[in-house]
Amino acid sequence: MIDKMRRIVRAVSVQQPYASKIAAGLKTIETRSWYTKYRGELLIVSCRLPPIPPAGYALAVCRLADCRRMCPYDVGPACVPWSSWLYAWVLEDVRAIEPFEVIGRLGFFNIMVTEAQLMTRM
C-alpha cells in the first residue's frame, strides 16, 4: 500500500561526481551562484552530463538547512575551491536512496514520487 502513496518533492540537479558524493555523505555543502529562501526536503538528482554513472538518477534525499555566502572553511565540505561569489547550501540529514531515473532540469523542479522511492537504501 505504501507504494501507491504519492507526493510532490522539490528536486535539484547536481553534476557528477558531486551528486554521488552528497549521497555518500562526503559532500555536505552544495555551491550555487544563486541564493534561495527555500528550506526543507530536497531530492538530489545526478545530471545526465557529463555521463558519469549513475547519470540521470535520483540518488539521495536531504534537508536544505541554510543558504549563505560561501566561506573559506566551506572548501572541505563543499569539495570545491573557495569563491566569494558562490552561495553555500548547507545539506543536513542526507539519506542515500535506491536510485531511480529522473529527467533533471535547471534550478529547482518538482517531481512526483512514492514514499517507497524516498526510503533509505540498505
C-alpha cell at 58: 535520483
Q: How does pLDDT run across 14-66, given as a tens digit for each residue?
A: 999 999 999 999 999 999 999 999 999 999 999 999 999 999 999 999 999 99
Q: How does pLDDT run across 75-95, given as a tens digit for each residue?
A: 999 999 999 999 999 999 999
Confidence of residue 101 (pLDDT cuts 50, 70, 90): very high
pLDDT at res. 3 = 55
Task: Give the domain CATH number at 59.
Answer: 2.30.130.30
Query: Cβ(30)–Cβ(68) under 8 Å?
Result: no
Rg (CA), the chain: 14
Domain count, the chain: 1
